[in-house]
Amino acid sequence: MSELPWFKFYTEAFRDPKFISAAIENQMEEMTVFGIWTALLCIAAKSKTRGKLLITEDIGYSIAELEKYIGWYGNLSTGDLGSLIKSFIGLDMIAIDDNGCYIIINFEERQDIPVKDSKSPGAIRTQHYRERLKEKTSQNVTSDASPLSSTSISISNSLSDSLIFNDIKSHFEQLTGLPVLPQAIKAIDEIIAFGGTPADITEGYKWFKDNSGKPLKYYGQLVGPTRTAMSKRLNGNGYKPAKSKAVDIHATAEGMQKYGDWETK
């Protein structure tokens, strides 16, 4: 396999009991053991045969060479790294092949798990947002749509998660005049997750100013009104104004309760 500039590192590694055991056995700090293990993973990832601790395509690192390469970490004394690797072998973390080369056990198996098997929250919210944009665009496209309309749909579908977030963030700033503080990210993420668009945010903001009787202090106060504005847009003429007001009041109160106190911290 060709060299890659990255490898998958699993969060479960932090505070793994095996590191604690190796640290106790070798009288080392746990984070020193953790750091050395991470360095060994980096070497294994850079090797021509990923998972093996190789200098060249077929020559593996010796303990002495590893000591020179990463032994400075934690001010290790001569022999400390060799003792630690023996502990890793005893803990079934490292093995030795027939040629005497050190191998990180299950390295390749854990690297080959497809990333697409688990969608991140950002990927999910991006999918929802694209679906809403596509639906909104398709409502405005007639049967004799021009090539430009098709291009617009294509561009909308190719928006990255960061572009979507920045679009919503910029719209909030321009519309309300409030800065987007780190605490406001949760409100923006929720709006993106349920498919709210900048136009929905604008309508929600108009309703808030006309009906809430309170000044806008937190972006979270617009989550409920934005959701209602989106429902109104999607339902069209079937949306009942009298009912919407009750829904909006409840949603706004919910948004203020959910985000208000939290964002002031």
Amino acid 7: pLDDT: 86
Amino acid 175: pLDDT: 87
Lowest-confidence pick of 12-26, 67-81, 191-205, 228-242: 228-242
* pLDDT over threshold 90, residue 85: yes
Strand partners, 102: 96
Amino acid 219: pLDDT: 85
Amino acid 140: pLDDT: 54
The pLDDT tens digits for 122-172 are 555 566 666 666 665 565 554 444 444 444 444 444 444 667 878 888 888
Going by C-alpha positions, the residue among 248, 231, 126 that lies closest to residue 189 is 126
Domain coordinates of the chain in residue numbers?
11-115, 119-149+157-263
* pLDDT over threshold 60, residue 204: yes
Region 219-236: mean pLDDT is 87
Inter-helix orientation angle 185-193/241-263, to 10°: 150
The phi-psi region of residue 6 (left if phi > 0; otherwise alpha if psi is between -120 and 50; otherwise beta) is beta
Helices within 27-120 (DSSP H only): 30-46, 63-70, 80-90, 107-111
Reported in sequence order, the residue ranges of the chain that DSSP labels E, i.e. its strands, are 94-96, 102-104
Amino acid 235: pLDDT: 82
Amino acid 245: pLDDT: 40
Cα–Cα distance measured from residue 259 to residue 263, given in angstroms and rounded to the nearest whole number: 6
For residues 105, 106, 108 and 110, what is the CA-based torsion angle, rounded to 10 degrees? Answer: -140
Amino acid 185: pLDDT: 82
Domain 11-115 CATH (choose: 2.170.15, 2.60.40, 1.10.3470, 1.10.10): 1.10.10
Region 29-55: mean pLDDT is 91
Amino acid 127: pLDDT: 63
Query: Contact at 8 Å (CB) between 102 and 52?
Result: yes
